[in-house]
């Protein structure tokens, strides 16, 4: 199975000036765990995750003042829609992260998460032997 078969095509793109509260509200409304941060003036594309927001708020930072740009991961590993789920899982394991932005020639087309991969693998890999 390929990344394109598992990825979420709901891609929330925000700017670096969004506050953490704004990012959290948008992510929560869409029921997603990561947003693409687009900053054409600097690094281009980055990612902010629910964990980034949790760490910032948990350390006492004000979500109404802190911006997404200050908490964006810019050293991003991008996936191709044609990667296998094994390749995506390997990149996540190697990098220690749970989301990959999926790019094609035109830019971001999706995000694949550990949850997406597990959802695809579970039916095939978790069947009890007596049911196969």
pLDDT interval class at 122 (50, 70, 90): confident
Predicted TM-score (pTM) of the model is 0.84
- In this predicted model, what pLDDT tens digit does every residue of 7-40 receive, in sequence order? 999 899 999 999 999 999 999 999 999 999 998 8
Instruction: Identify the pLDDT of residue 131.
Output: 53
Distances (CA, A) of 129 to 1, 8, 55, 121, 125: 22, 31, 41, 16, 10
The answer as to CATH 3.10.580.10 being correct for domain 3-131 is yes
- 35, with CB counted inside 10 A (0-12, 13-18, 19+), is buried
């Amino acid at each position: 199975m390929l990344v394109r078969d598992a990825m979420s095509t709901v891609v929330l793109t925000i700017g670096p000036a969004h506050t953490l509260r704004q990012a959290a509200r948008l992510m929560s409304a869409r029921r997603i765990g990561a947003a693409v941060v687009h900053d054409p003036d600097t690094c281009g594309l980055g990612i902010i995750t629910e964990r980034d927001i949790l760490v910032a708020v948990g350390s006492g930072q004000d979500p109404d003042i802190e911006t997404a740009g200050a908490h964006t991961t810019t050293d991003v590993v991008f996936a191709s829609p044609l990667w296998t789920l094994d390749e995506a899982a390997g990149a996540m394991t190697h990098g220690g992260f749970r989301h990959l932005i999926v790019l094609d020639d035109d830019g971001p087309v999706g995000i694949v998460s550990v949850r997406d991969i597990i959802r695809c693998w579970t039916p095939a890999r978790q069947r009890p032997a007596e049911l196969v």
